[in-house]
Chain A
């Protein structure tokens, strides 16, 4: 076993101090389902594992003053989908949290860790983007907040400096008559990495006939999960119809710039991006109408 230190700071300030001292050789340990394996298989050099599960800000899940959800970066998936109120307000978050790995993974793995791992195929990131989530980041220069769609910068890469850590995700309160959904395509039933995944949130007019606003995101079709603003624009102000949703799906296909690899070809991924965008928009509309 490689020499490695383990520290479990009790406060955010202590965690930042450890990161400031050790730089890039210090890695944040939350669920450990990626980091422990990367270390063991020597895919990542780790000098200090900084276990953040004793820091209250990272393990808390609760409501903000404005009615949104503040999700500590180390909260395990299982805690999210076992909370009935979180599930009622954010069903798309449950869609994601309940299909990342198997039960053994979900009991430890966190949404914050999924985001910080910054896989292009991460199953929580399109949902966070569609829901308009922001990242609260702490470091020696204080705290900063950025939208999730600006967090990832490439496969496995993100905006965090070596001395910074993700503290929490904050999801705004869902608007009235809103709904959201997430889906992924895999060739198995469970336990696989997305060939493509997608999420959408919509806000409908009082009569349910018009999209007042929408956010659409797609994963595994570019170096980072994509927020497709052109799809949002194709929906906003338009009638709720198959034609409008098809126009948004066209925008998603156009934004996709997938690669061909062992999981799928460029053409298949572009096709799937449109299919999944259509499905999540249809489900989001049904949920906005209260029927699902």
Chain B
């Protein structure tokens, strides 16, 4: 039997019906049309489906839709401020930190979760934090540089955070 769920996604109240076994990732992509969050491995290894749930970074493939009732979600669609890209998004573009782009939303949400908590994160910390996000195109260096550059930008203009 479908369950009724009421939750906040990117600051807006969203209601949906979900089968008990349906993943949050499936709810977002297939029922709510929020396809910015990507499906990669669908088994908790790759981080492509990363969202923030109640302030913590999670793999949305490893969360049931029914579990987010009453919660607060941030997805990649909530990272930009209208037409104005978040510094992480702009730095991913400026550093060419993506090729196919499937992993990119997950990396950006994961990096945002890190920089909100640890604005001074250094390269070693960034690499450690992003260990749960896999990229098969870039070799990671450009991604790490983009996060470092965004961190520096956010430290000088923290209003973006």
Contacts and interface: CB of A to CB of B under 8 A. Distances in A.
B36 interface: no
Interface string A49-84: 101010000000000000000000000101000000
B62 A33 contact: yes
A105 interface: yes
Contacts of A53: 67
Contacts of A36: 23, 61-64
Contact of B64 (A32, A103, A104, A107): A32
B116 interface: no
B63 to A, nearest CB: 6
B132 interface: yes
B63 A4 contact: no
Contacts of B66: 6
Nearest to B21: A4
Contacts of B63: 32, 36, 108
Nearest to B67: A51
Contacts of A40: 21, 23, 42-43
Given A36-B61, A36-B64, 4 more contacts: A6-B66, A36-B63, A78-B56, A105-B59
Contact of A4 (B19, B58, B110): B19
Interface of A: 1-6, 29, 31-33, 36-37, 39-41, 46, 49, 51, 53, 76, 78, 101-105, 107-108, 189-191
Given A37-B62, A190-B131, A107 B56 contact: yes
A191 B62 contact: no
A189 B127 CA distance: 10
B101 interface: no
A46 B64 CA distance: 14
Contacts of A107: 56-58
A119 to B, nearest CB: 14
Interface residues of B, number: 31
B20 interface: yes
Contact of A33 (B1, B3, B44, B57): B44
Contacts of A4: 19-21
A81 to B, nearest CB: 13
A41 B113 CA distance: 29
A40 B20 CA distance: 12
B21 A1 contact: yes
Chief secondary structure at chain A's binding surface:
loop
Closest 8 CB pairs of A and B: A102-B132, A6-B20, A190-B131, A4-B21, A107-B56, A104-B59, A104-B132, A37-B43
A33 B64 CA distance: 11
B47 interface: yes
Contact of A104 (B19, B43, B57): B57
A153 to B, nearest CB: 26
Given A6-B66, A32-B62, A36-B62, A103 B20 contact: no
Q: Which of A36, A104, A189 has the most CB of B within 10 A?
A: A104
B4 interface: no
Given A6-B20, A39-B21, A40-B23, A105 B44 contact: yes
B132 A6 contact: no
Contacts of A46: 21
A284 B152 CA distance: 38
Nearest to B109: A104
A76 B43 CA distance: 19
Contact of B22 (A1, A5, A191): A1
28 contacts: A4-B21, A6-B21, A6-B64, A6-B66, A29-B64, A32-B64, A33-B62, A36-B62, A36-B63, A36-B64, A37-B62, A40-B21, A40-B23, A40-B43, A41-B43, A51-B67, A53-B67, A103-B113, A104-B58, A105-B44, A105-B59, A107-B56, A107-B57, A189-B131, A190-B131, A191-B45, A191-B131, A191-B132
